[in-house]
Amino acid sequence: MRKHLLAAISIFCGTFALLAQVPTNGLVSKWSFEGNLTQDSHGTYTLTNSAVLLDTGFQQIPNTAAYFNGGANLSINNAVFRPTTFSIATWFKRDGTVPYHTLANVRINPSSSPFNSYNLCFGNSTSQKLTFFFTTTSNNDLSLQDTAIIDPNIWTHVIVTCDYNSTNNNTIIKMYVNGSIHAQGTYSNSIYYSPTSKPLTLGSVSGAPSGNSLNGSLDEFLFYNRVLSPTEATNIYNSTPTGIYSSNNIQNSEITLYPNPTNSILNIEVKKQTQISIVNMLGEVVKTETINGASKLDVSDLTTGVYFIQDSKSGKAIKFIKQ
């Protein structure tokens, strides 16, 4: 019973807990930007990069976020990203001041109404409030807006869910900010897409001027082909531990790792013999080993991404990147 209680405790003072996990049911793509701007860390959908750079992510780890400097974008042209029912989630941080900081967009027309199948953005033109613009088969350029103002240089998490009900012929749209629902509405008909197959574009708007582009960063972008529940939305917000040990050599830590990142051998040093677990970003244990003193761990069989080495005795963990 005690073990189950401990497993349910969230991160506190550097202790790694697997309380909230990212749901994988219906997860089409997960772009984490962990040392790679285009690779899908869940599926097979690779982004095309146009001038986007690696940046420090919301956990303050270098090369774990995508930085957009107004006009840069990541995109993919595939029908799987043009459904009538879906959910998108991402961490974001803005720099500067522009008319629209676009986070995610599928365009209909570049320069005339209707403009967007959907566009999650904020900026001067939206009073710095998160806004989800969209077009249905019966109404052009509708919007759902949050009430809070987005401050600069602060990481914020947002989820938008679109639920089309063919029986009632309406779409319920909800917006979650930092794990809590902030806005919702019901609209007639389904989201409309251009027959010319416009791409999903992150950080900008396909065919639109740079005033529609993000000045800032994205991290952990998720795309689902279903609607996330309120509990799942909260779990995604809480899923990636922000209090976890992340440096390579932490004073008084039970574990030391190097090199980090690595593509094959990870050197691990522990003060006392212990069992360690390698945990992926979904909270799944992918490998366990018994370590005594200085050891070498072969991680070449792991897929590229971010993992955690957790000490079973202390509960402490250190993040490492598999290249």
Q: What is the pLDDT of residue 193?
A: 96
Contact between 75 and 202 (Cβ < 8 Å): yes
How far is the first Cα of the chain from the last one, in angstroms, to the nearest whole number? Answer: 38
174-183, 195-204, 295-304 — which is least confidently predicted?
Answer: 295-304
In b/e form, how buried is each residue of 229-245, taking b as 16+ CB within 10 angstroms? eeebbbbbbbbbbeebb
CA atoms of 184 and 244, how far apart (whole Å): 33
Q: Are residues 314 and 171 in the same domain?
A: no
CA atoms of 238 and 75, how far apart (whole Å): 27
Q: What is the pLDDT of residue 5?
A: 29
Q: Which distant-in-sequence residues (6+ apart) come within 8 Å of 23 by Cβ?
A: 224, 228, 232, 235, 236
Q: What is the pTM of this model?
A: 0.74
207 Cα distance to chain centroid: 25
Average pLDDT over residues 191-215: 90
- Total domains, the chain: 2
Q: Are residues 116 and 254 in the same domain?
A: no
Q: What is the pLDDT of residue 12?
A: 34
Task: Single out the residue in 221, 239, 257 at which a domain terminates.
Answer: 239
Radius of gyration in angstroms for the set of CA atoms belonging to the chain, rounded to a whole number? 21
Q: Are residues 258 and 268 in the same domain?
A: yes
Q: Are residues 4 and 77 in the same domain?
A: no
Torsion angle of the four alpha carbons 14, 19, 20, 21, in this order, in degrees rounded to the nearest 10? 100
Q: Are residues 205 and 265 in the same domain?
A: no
Q: Which distant-in-sequence residues (6+ apart) come within 8 Å of 248 by Cβ?
A: 256, 257, 258, 260, 318
Task: Single out the residue in 190, 212, 239 at which a domain terminates.
Answer: 239
Q: Are residues 46 and 96 in the same domain?
A: yes
CATH of the domain at 204: 2.60.120.200
Contact between 165 and 189 (Cβ < 8 Å): no
CA atoms of 317 and 155, how far apart (whole Å): 23
58-62, 99-103, 250-254 — which is least confidently predicted?
Answer: 250-254
Q: Are residues 171 and 193 in the same domain?
A: yes
Q: Are residues 67 and 202 in the same domain?
A: yes
- Using alpha carbons, select from 270, 289, 271 the residue that is nearest to residue 279: 289
Strand partners, 181: 176
Contact between 46 and 259 (Cβ < 8 Å): no
Q: Are residues 263 and 220 in the same domain?
A: no
- Using alpha carbons, select from 213, 224, 208, 186 the residue that is nearest to residue 90: 224
The per-residue pLDDT of the chain, averaged, comes to 85
Task: Single out the residue in 193, 208, 239 at which a domain terminates.
Answer: 239
Range 279-282, long-range pairs (CB < 8 A, 24+ positions): 279/16, 279/18, 279/307, 279/308, 279/310, 279/317, 280/305, 280/306, 280/307, 281/22, 281/32, 281/41, 281/239, 281/240, 281/305, 281/306, 281/307, 282/21, 282/22, 282/24
- Using alpha carbons, select from 287, 293, 259 the residue that is nearest to residue 274: 293
Q: Are residues 33 and 79 in the same domain?
A: yes
- Is pLDDT of 13 > 60? no
Q: Are residues 72 and 107 in the same domain?
A: yes
Query: How many CA atoms lie within 13 Å of 305's alpha carbon, on the beta-carbon side?
Result: 20
Q: What is the pLDDT of residues 64-104, one digit of tens each?
A: 999 999 889 999 999 999 999 999 999 999 998 889 999 99
Q: How confident is the model at residue 314 (pLDDT cuts 50, 70, 90)?
A: low
Q: What is the pLDDT of residue 6?
A: 33
Q: What is the 3-state secondary structure (H, E, C) of 14-50?
A: CECCCCCCCCCCCEEEEECCCCCCCCCCCCCCCCEEE
- Using alpha carbons, select from 111, 114, 159, 116 the residue that is nearest to residue 134: 116
Q: Which domain holds residue 160?
A: 23-239
CATH of the domain at 248: 2.60.40.3080
Q: Are residues 260 and 118 in the same domain?
A: no
